[in-house]
Chain A
Amino acid sequence: AQSVAQPEDQVNVAEGNPLTVKCTYSVSGNPYLFWYVQYPNRGLQFLLKYITGDNLVKGSYGFEAEFNKSQTSFHLKKPSALVSDSALYFCAAGDTGNQFYFGTGTSLTVIP
Protein backbone atom coordinates (compact mmCIF):
# COMPACT_ATOMS: atom_id res chain seq x y z
CA ALA A 1 0.00 0.00 0.00
CA GLN A 2 1.11 3.51 -0.73
CA SER A 3 1.97 5.50 2.35
CA VAL A 4 3.86 8.38 3.86
CA ALA A 5 5.42 8.07 7.29
CA GLN A 6 6.36 10.75 9.76
CA PRO A 7 8.06 8.83 12.54
CA GLU A 8 7.93 11.60 15.13
CA ASP A 9 4.63 12.82 16.53
CA GLN A 10 6.37 15.64 18.36
CA VAL A 11 9.60 17.55 17.80
CA ASN A 12 10.89 20.10 20.28
CA VAL A 13 13.73 22.45 19.43
CA ALA A 14 15.18 25.55 21.05
CA GLU A 15 14.79 28.85 19.27
CA GLY A 16 17.77 29.56 17.05
CA ASN A 17 18.74 25.91 16.72
CA PRO A 18 18.41 23.98 13.48
CA LEU A 19 15.32 21.84 13.10
CA THR A 20 14.57 18.68 11.16
CA VAL A 21 11.18 17.05 10.65
CA LYS A 22 11.46 13.60 9.14
CA CYS A 23 9.44 12.04 6.35
CA THR A 24 9.74 8.79 4.43
CA TYR A 25 7.50 7.57 1.67
CA SER A 26 6.45 4.36 0.04
CA VAL A 27 4.83 5.43 -3.21
CA SER A 28 5.40 3.78 -6.54
CA GLY A 29 7.08 5.48 -9.46
CA ASN A 30 8.52 8.94 -9.07
CA PRO A 31 6.14 10.66 -6.67
CA TYR A 32 5.78 14.35 -6.17
CA LEU A 33 6.62 15.29 -2.59
CA PHE A 34 5.28 18.14 -0.50
CA TRP A 35 5.42 19.76 2.89
CA TYR A 36 2.46 21.60 4.34
CA VAL A 37 2.07 23.48 7.61
CA GLN A 38 -1.09 23.79 9.65
CA TYR A 39 -1.64 26.46 12.27
CA PRO A 40 -4.44 26.08 14.85
CA ASN A 41 -7.92 26.37 13.36
CA ARG A 42 -6.53 26.88 9.88
CA GLY A 43 -6.28 24.88 6.69
CA LEU A 44 -3.01 23.52 5.44
CA GLN A 45 -0.57 25.91 3.82
CA PHE A 46 1.92 24.90 1.18
CA LEU A 47 5.61 25.14 2.14
CA LEU A 48 7.52 23.48 -0.66
CA LYS A 49 7.51 20.67 -3.17
CA TYR A 50 9.84 18.37 -5.03
CA ILE A 51 8.98 17.43 -8.58
CA THR A 52 12.32 16.74 -10.17
CA GLY A 53 15.81 18.19 -10.36
CA ASP A 54 17.94 19.45 -7.48
CA ASN A 55 17.58 17.30 -4.39
CA LEU A 56 17.58 20.33 -2.11
CA VAL A 57 14.36 22.27 -2.39
CA LYS A 58 13.90 25.70 -0.90
CA GLY A 59 10.48 26.87 0.20
CA SER A 60 8.59 29.46 2.16
CA TYR A 61 9.66 31.01 5.50
CA GLY A 62 13.25 29.79 5.22
CA PHE A 63 12.35 26.10 5.11
CA GLU A 64 14.08 23.63 2.85
CA ALA A 65 13.80 19.92 2.25
CA GLU A 66 16.22 17.31 1.07
CA PHE A 67 15.06 14.56 -1.27
CA ASN A 68 16.94 11.29 -0.97
CA LYS A 69 15.77 8.72 -3.47
CA SER A 70 17.80 5.82 -2.12
CA GLN A 71 16.41 6.33 1.37
CA THR A 72 12.96 7.37 0.06
CA SER A 73 13.07 10.32 2.40
CA PHE A 74 12.10 13.96 2.19
CA HIS A 75 13.13 15.60 5.47
CA LEU A 76 12.14 19.18 6.22
CA LYS A 77 14.83 21.44 7.59
CA LYS A 78 15.44 24.96 8.76
CA PRO A 79 18.83 26.34 9.86
CA SER A 80 17.48 28.50 12.69
CA ALA A 81 14.08 27.85 14.27
CA LEU A 82 11.68 30.61 15.29
CA VAL A 83 8.97 30.42 17.93
CA SER A 84 6.49 31.28 15.18
CA ASP A 85 7.45 28.04 13.39
CA SER A 86 5.55 26.09 16.05
CA ALA A 87 2.79 24.30 14.19
CA LEU A 88 1.71 20.95 12.78
CA TYR A 89 3.67 19.82 9.74
CA PHE A 90 2.49 17.35 7.15
CA CYS A 91 4.48 15.54 4.52
CA ALA A 92 2.58 14.39 1.44
CA ALA A 93 3.22 12.44 -1.75
CA GLY A 94 1.30 12.50 -5.00
CA ASP A 95 1.44 9.55 -7.33
CA THR A 96 1.02 9.45 -11.08
CA GLY A 97 -2.60 8.44 -10.58
CA ASN A 98 -3.22 11.79 -8.96
CA GLN A 99 -3.94 10.44 -5.51
CA PHE A 100 -2.30 12.18 -2.60
CA TYR A 101 -1.06 10.52 0.55
CA PHE A 102 -0.39 12.42 3.74
CA GLY A 103 1.66 11.52 6.75
CA THR A 104 0.16 11.60 10.21
CA GLY A 105 1.72 14.95 10.99
CA THR A 106 4.49 16.15 13.30
CA SER A 107 3.83 18.75 15.93
CA LEU A 108 6.78 21.13 16.10
CA THR A 109 7.33 23.19 19.23
CA VAL A 110 10.04 25.82 19.25
CA ILE A 111 11.02 26.72 22.78
CA PRO A 112 12.00 30.34 23.46
Chain B
Amino acid sequence: EAQVTQNPRYLITVTGKKLTVTCSQNMNHEYMSWYRQDPGLGLRQIYYSMNVEVTDKGDVPEGYKVSRKEKRNFPLILESPSPNQTSLYFCASSSLDWTSSFGPQAFFGQGTRLTVV
Protein backbone atom coordinates (compact mmCIF):
# COMPACT_ATOMS: atom_id res chain seq x y z
CA GLU B 1 0.00 0.00 0.00
CA ALA B 2 1.32 3.42 -0.97
CA GLN B 3 1.81 5.46 2.14
CA VAL B 4 3.69 8.16 3.98
CA THR B 5 4.47 7.25 7.58
CA GLN B 6 5.24 9.78 10.26
CA ASN B 7 6.37 9.10 13.79
CA PRO B 8 5.48 9.87 16.43
CA ARG B 9 1.83 10.81 16.04
CA TYR B 10 1.81 12.77 19.28
CA LEU B 11 4.70 14.35 21.16
CA ILE B 12 4.92 16.57 24.20
CA THR B 13 8.35 17.98 24.96
CA VAL B 14 10.03 20.76 26.88
CA THR B 15 11.61 23.90 25.52
CA GLY B 16 15.13 23.34 24.28
CA LYS B 17 15.10 19.55 24.13
CA LYS B 18 16.13 18.42 20.67
CA LEU B 19 13.67 16.21 18.83
CA THR B 20 13.26 14.49 15.49
CA VAL B 21 10.07 13.63 13.67
CA THR B 22 10.58 10.88 11.14
CA CYS B 23 8.93 10.59 7.75
CA SER B 24 9.18 7.66 5.38
CA GLN B 25 7.52 6.96 2.03
CA ASN B 26 7.35 3.74 0.03
CA MET B 27 6.52 5.15 -3.40
CA ASN B 28 10.04 5.99 -4.57
CA HIS B 29 9.03 9.65 -4.81
CA GLU B 30 11.65 12.24 -5.52
CA TYR B 31 9.85 15.11 -3.84
CA MET B 32 9.22 15.30 -0.11
CA SER B 33 8.18 18.20 2.07
CA TRP B 34 7.19 19.23 5.57
CA TYR B 35 4.29 21.48 6.53
CA ARG B 36 2.91 22.86 9.72
CA GLN B 37 -0.80 23.44 10.14
CA ASP B 38 -2.02 26.18 12.45
CA PRO B 39 -5.58 27.47 12.93
CA GLY B 40 -6.35 30.33 10.59
CA LEU B 41 -3.06 29.93 8.76
CA GLY B 42 -3.64 26.74 6.81
CA LEU B 43 -0.60 24.70 5.87
CA ARG B 44 2.73 26.40 5.53
CA GLN B 45 5.69 24.72 3.92
CA ILE B 46 8.75 24.40 6.16
CA TYR B 47 11.28 22.62 3.94
CA TYR B 48 11.18 20.55 0.80
CA SER B 49 13.51 18.21 -1.00
CA MET B 50 13.72 17.48 -4.69
CA ASN B 51 15.89 14.40 -4.24
CA VAL B 52 18.62 12.87 -2.10
CA GLU B 53 20.94 15.52 -0.66
CA VAL B 54 18.84 18.29 -2.24
CA THR B 55 16.83 20.36 0.24
CA ASP B 56 15.47 23.88 0.19
CA LYS B 57 13.64 26.26 2.48
CA GLY B 58 9.92 26.76 2.28
CA ASP B 59 7.99 29.65 3.75
CA VAL B 60 8.70 29.06 7.45
CA PRO B 61 12.07 27.31 7.87
CA GLU B 62 13.29 29.12 10.98
CA GLY B 63 13.95 26.79 13.89
CA TYR B 64 13.86 23.64 11.76
CA LYS B 65 16.38 21.43 10.00
CA VAL B 66 15.94 18.56 7.58
CA SER B 67 18.11 15.98 5.91
CA ARG B 68 17.66 13.71 2.92
CA LYS B 69 20.28 11.01 3.03
CA GLU B 70 18.02 8.36 1.56
CA LYS B 71 15.24 8.76 -0.96
CA ARG B 72 12.56 7.27 1.28
CA ASN B 73 13.29 9.25 4.46
CA PHE B 74 12.99 12.94 5.26
CA PRO B 75 13.27 13.64 8.99
CA LEU B 76 12.37 16.99 10.52
CA ILE B 77 14.70 18.13 13.28
CA LEU B 78 13.99 20.73 15.93
CA GLU B 79 17.34 21.48 17.54
CA SER B 80 15.91 23.69 20.29
CA PRO B 81 12.12 23.60 20.25
CA SER B 82 10.16 26.57 21.50
CA PRO B 83 6.47 26.93 22.40
CA ASN B 84 5.73 28.74 19.12
CA GLN B 85 6.58 25.50 17.35
CA THR B 86 3.59 23.82 18.95
CA SER B 87 1.64 22.74 15.89
CA LEU B 88 0.36 19.91 13.75
CA TYR B 89 3.04 18.76 11.32
CA PHE B 90 2.55 16.92 8.05
CA CYS B 91 5.04 15.23 5.81
CA ALA B 92 4.17 14.76 2.14
CA SER B 93 5.73 13.15 -0.90
CA SER B 94 5.06 13.24 -4.61
CA SER B 95 6.48 12.22 -7.92
CA LEU B 96 8.16 14.85 -10.05
CA ASP B 97 6.93 13.20 -13.20
CA TRP B 98 4.62 15.99 -14.30
CA THR B 99 3.34 13.95 -17.22
CA SER B 100 2.13 11.16 -14.98
CA SER B 101 -1.57 10.98 -14.36
CA PHE B 102 -0.70 10.86 -10.69
CA GLY B 103 1.92 13.54 -10.54
CA PRO B 104 2.40 15.91 -8.94
CA GLN B 105 -0.26 14.76 -6.54
CA ALA B 106 1.03 14.79 -2.99
CA PHE B 107 0.50 11.98 -0.52
CA PHE B 108 0.33 13.09 3.08
CA GLY B 109 1.24 11.39 6.31
CA GLN B 110 -1.21 11.17 9.21
CA GLY B 111 0.32 14.11 11.01
CA THR B 112 2.34 14.67 14.18
CA ARG B 113 0.83 16.80 16.89
CA LEU B 114 3.70 18.48 18.72
CA THR B 115 3.34 20.38 21.96
CA VAL B 116 6.31 22.29 23.36
CA VAL B 117 5.91 23.41 26.97
- Chain A partners chain B: yes
**B108 A43 Cβ-Cβ under 8 A:** yes
Count residues of A near B (Cβ-Cβ below 8 Å): 24
Chain A contact residues, CB within 8 Å of chain B: 6, 9, 32, 34, 36, 41-46, 49, 51, 90, 92, 94, 98-105
- Give A72 Cβ to nearest chain B Cβ, in Å: 18
The answer to whether B42 and A98 have CB atoms under 8 Å apart is no
A98 touching B31, Cβ below 8 Å: yes
Residues of B bordering A, CB below 8 Å: 4, 31, 33, 35, 40-45, 48, 50, 58-59, 90, 92, 96, 98, 104-111
Interface of A (DSSP majority class): strand
Query: Which of B4, B35, B50, B98 is in CB contact (< 8 Å) with A102?
Result: B35
* CB atoms of A43 and B42 under 8 A apart: no
Is there contact, CB below 8 Å, between B90 and A44?
A: yes
Can you name 18 extra interface pairs (CB under 8 A) apart from A49-B104, A104-B41, A104-B42? A6-B42, A9-B40, A34-B105, A36-B106, A41-B111, A42-B110, A43-B4, A43-B110, A44-B90, A44-B106, A46-B106, A46-B107, A90-B43, A92-B43, A98-B31, A98-B48, A100-B48, A102-B35
